Amino acid sequence: MNAIVISALLGVLMMLSGLFFKRSAAIQWTAIAGSAILLIGSILELIPAGQNKMFYGMLELHHVSSWFNVLMSACVMLYILLFHRSIAKVGRNDAEYFALIFFVMCGIYLMSMYSNLLILFLGIEIMSIPQYIMAGSDKENIKSNESALKYFLMGSFSTGILLMGITLIYGATGSFDLLSPKFTAVFQSGADPSSLAMIGVLLLIVAFGFKTSSSPFHFWTPDVYDGSPTAFTPFMASIVKVGVFMAFIRLFHLSFIQMASHWQLMMALMIALTLLIGNITAVYQQSVKRMLAYSSIAQAGFMLFAVFSTNQTAWDGMMLYSVAYTLSTLGIFAVLIKMKDYTYDGFKGLGKKEPVLAATATICLLSLAGIPLTGGFFAKYFVLNAAMEQGLWIALIIFAVLMAAVSAYYYFKVIMSMYFYEGDAELTEESNAVEKTLMIMNAVLVILLGVMPGLILNH
Amino acid sequence: MPSQYYLFLGFALFCIGVMGVLMRRNAIIILMCIELMLNAVNLLLVTFSKMHQNADAQLFVFFIMVVAAAEVSVGLSIIVLMYRKVRSIDINILNRLKN
């Protein structure tokens, strides 16, 4: 509860700070201090085990969700530390941008600990609406406007579908509470639920597919991630996406696990399509930012494996994937935002000119590709192992490994440009010592996760 | 009047909304179709609430109305921003701009 209340209050506080502080630096420091308070608040909430109900059973703080909240608070703090100067430079309303980030975090906390479909809906909306504004915050840029409009139309369409799913499930059960006897009688008695409930679950998969940018509902992703200001893309592609996945896995593993055989086929098709389209299209991109947008679709395909396999390993894989993917995305975008030219050619010669930036980018790209000794390797290992423990769908797992090999091609292309080609990689601004230290820290964390994944898992 | 009638009306309105979103190209009309979808869901929720003799869903309707209002205010401002730039709210123009 701490995290939810603090993040909502911080959002309001940040909006007001725009009135009190005239200097942008003061606003940025308020945001950094705010994210530190948020981290402390969510650490205080850590409970060793057991369950804790709040707000008349609307929220249920499971130990997995409280630990997830801590990790996401830490990630958002790192995000604000790495990007605060770029965020303030997007437009004139710098205080409001930080306020939006805290409001999105409020939605993510709600989504990681809901136990009522009403809270799931509110969490998704609190998370989405600020993002529409963030996508369009570069008002002078037509691409930013376009991405905001596209994101808004697709996002609210998927909200309508989500609501229809929730309504049908209510029609079949007569309750929104995931733990109430009425609800569990329909979904966890072992008998097949009515067709009304089945269609409801199907519509929920579609709505989550939209929000997590899984094929065939991914088509908005490249334009939105490419058009949004580069300061906001890493936030949207990493922390937000991971939060939606947490809601996804929570709903399907805690409530719909008995009917897994019914939705697993559809999800397997979604995984195969997502991996195929994400990876193959990413190969043909000219711009690194757009390539990363497609690669985030491909990564969503791997995260879907965690939802697909209904066992404990899937939860471990989800946690590890969340952190490894978020850190790697933040790291590569921290480098990308310094570049003047986002094409592969723009990266030529970066290795000689800025060794720290190039090394950070390399480590993060290796992690995204899933090379051993980086966090991404164990993340992929755990989600695929979870699917392996199911014993079914071996072909799908082999296909995923093949696609991971394809992904190595376009990630290595960036590394090649940085180290093996002569060129003059132009930067928009020099990064100062603090930023370089943070980047090194980020890279070290990625490697640390690859050596000791137990840091995340033993909780 | 049996409550099934309301269910059929709700499902029909929802389908009209979905078809409108998929087929129309005017951003404002798409927005109206999304509102139609949400209101169809509201109608269904109230009907189910009556069928189950349970007021939870009627509370849910209030939340949907508040969220829809917030969403529309953001959405309309995005459309206005777009209109100022390109003097059109046809979403096909977005694809043309890209090339």
What is the value of ipTM here, to two decimals? Answer: 0.95
Yes or no, beta carbons of B63 and A121 under 8 Å apart? yes
Share of chain A above pLDDT 70, in %: 98
Average pLDDT over residues A168-179: 92
pLDDT of residue A147: 92
Closest Cβ opposite residue A174 in set B30, B37, B52: B52
Instruction: Decide if pLDDT at A456 tops 90.
Output: no
- Considering CB atoms only, which of A122, A129, A145 is closest to B63? A122
Residues A54 and A43: their CA atoms lie apart, in Å, by 17
pLDDT at B36: 96
Query: What is the per-residue burial (b if ≥16 Cβ within 10 Å, else e) of A312-341?
Result: ebbbbbbbbbbbbbbbbbbbbbbbbbbbee
Task: Kindly list the residues of chain A whose beta carbon comes within 8 Å of any beta carbon in chain B.
Answer: 118, 121-122, 125, 129, 132-133, 136, 139, 142, 145-146, 148-150, 152-153, 156-157, 159-160, 163-164, 166-167, 170-171, 174-176, 223
Per-residue pLDDT band at A49 (split at 50, 70, 90)? low
Question: What Rg, from alpha-carbon coordinates, does chain B have?
Answer: 17
Per-residue model confidence (pLDDT) at position A51: 63
d(CA A391, CA A300): 22
Judged by a CB distance cut-off of 8 A, whether residue B46 touches chain A is no
Check if B78 contacts A (Cβ < 8 Å): yes
Q: Is the pLDDT of residue A289 over 60?
A: yes
Test mutation, B34, B47, B72, B87, chain A, max A CBs within 10 A: B34
Q: A163, B42 in Cβ contact below 8 A? A: no
Identity at A286, one-letter amino acid code: Q
CATH of domain B4-98: 1.10.287.3510
Residue A288's pLDDT is 93
pTM of the model: 0.95
The pLDDT value given to residue A92:
86
Chain B interface disruption, residue of A156, A183, A194, A204, most B CBs within 10 A: A156
| Residue spans of chain B under pLDDT 70 | 95-99
Lowest mean pLDDT among A60-64, A341-345, A372-376: A60-64
Average pLDDT, chain A: 91
| pLDDT, position A423 | 83
Which range, of A40-49, A85-94, A192-201, A279-288, averages the lowest pLDDT? A40-49
Q: Does position A325 have pLDDT exceeding 70, yes or no?
A: yes
- pLDDT digit string, tens, across residues A423-450: 888 888 888 899 999 999 999 999 999 9
Domains of chain B: which residue ranges?
A: 4-98
Per residue in A78-123, pLDDT (tens digit) is 999 999 999 999 988 889 999 999 999 999 999 999 999 999 999 9
**pLDDT at res. A175:** 92
Chain A residues near residue B52 by CB distance under 8 angstroms: 170, 174
The token pair that represents A320 in the structure block: 């590890």
Average pLDDT, stretch A23-36?
93
Q: Which of the four pLDDT bands, split at 50, 70 and 90, describes residue A258?
A: confident
Please tell me what DSSP assigns to residue B55: S
- In the block, tokens 């090379």 appear at A371
Residue B98: per-residue pLDDT: 62
Q: Closest partner residue to A132 among B45, B78, B94, by Cβ? A: B78
Residue A408 CB neighbour total at 10 angstroms:
17
Distance, in angstroms, between A177 CA and closest chain B CA?
10
Q: Where are the domains of chain A?
A: 2-457
**DSSP category for residue B34:** H
Q: Is the pLDDT of residue A40 over 70?
A: yes
